[in-house]
Amino acid sequence: SHEELALGEDLPKEVMTRLFVYVFLRALGGNDATGSRVSFLDRAHLLEQKNQTPLYTSHDEKLLQFLYGFDDGGSFVSPEVQEELDALQNIEQKILFETASAKIKVLSNGILDNVVEILQKYPTALIEIQAHTDSRGEDDYNIDLSKRRGQAVKDYLVSKGISSSRLSVKGFGESAPIADNNTADGRAKNRRVAFKVLNSES
């Protein structure tokens, strides 16, 4: 249903523009850019679930092709992309920042370079950078800090040659903990950056 349609606020501007045109054409009952009826939008949902990234799933490749301008057959990527990115995420090997800052610590460059290699290996993968904080500090501050840290990660990846249009940023602040914020170890686990593949075929 249309009530299920929800957009992540940090989708790339080009994608938002395409989606606006797409929905407008559908409202008019017209055709999309390929000349096909756009009624199949009913079968695509942008879902935002608690403690998960805003993600969208589509049962019709045409929606992805229209939104992201992919060629036929190039919209979806292997689930292996997500598996390789997930393998980088652990407490011993994580992206670290200066205290109360969005400045990435130099010792984290290695893991980011590994992310670059994965994205170069899968050049059509679309990635959402998800940044989280622990519970210390005000909610608004943590949301802002997580967004700035996510943007810092994006800037690093772009500086290494990854197209900005493939990357979006979502700052969760303290809203999605994976461990107990009442312990130092738990807070360390909650201060994290994760990568979500938006167009996996899984």
CB atoms under 10 Å from CB of 158, counted, come to: 15
**pLDDT per residue of the chain (202 residues) written in tens, 0 to 9:** 333 444 444 556 656 666 666 666 555 554 444 444 433 343 333 333 333 433 344 444 445 545 544 444 445 788 888 888 888 766 456 898 888 899 999 989 999 999 999 999 999 999 999 999 999 999 999 999 999 999 999 999 999 999 999 999 999 999 999 999 999 988 888 889 999 999 876 5
Asked whether the beta carbons of 169 and 125 are under 8 A apart, the reply is no
Whole-model pTM: value is 0.61
Q: Which two tokens stand for residue 60?
A: 């019709």
Sketch the domain layout of the chain as residue ranges. 2-68, 80-197
Amino acid at 142: N
Pick among 2.40.30.10, 1.10.10.10, 3.30.465.10, 3.30.1330.60: CATH of 80-197: 3.30.1330.60
Secondary structure of residue 41 in the 3-state scheme? helix
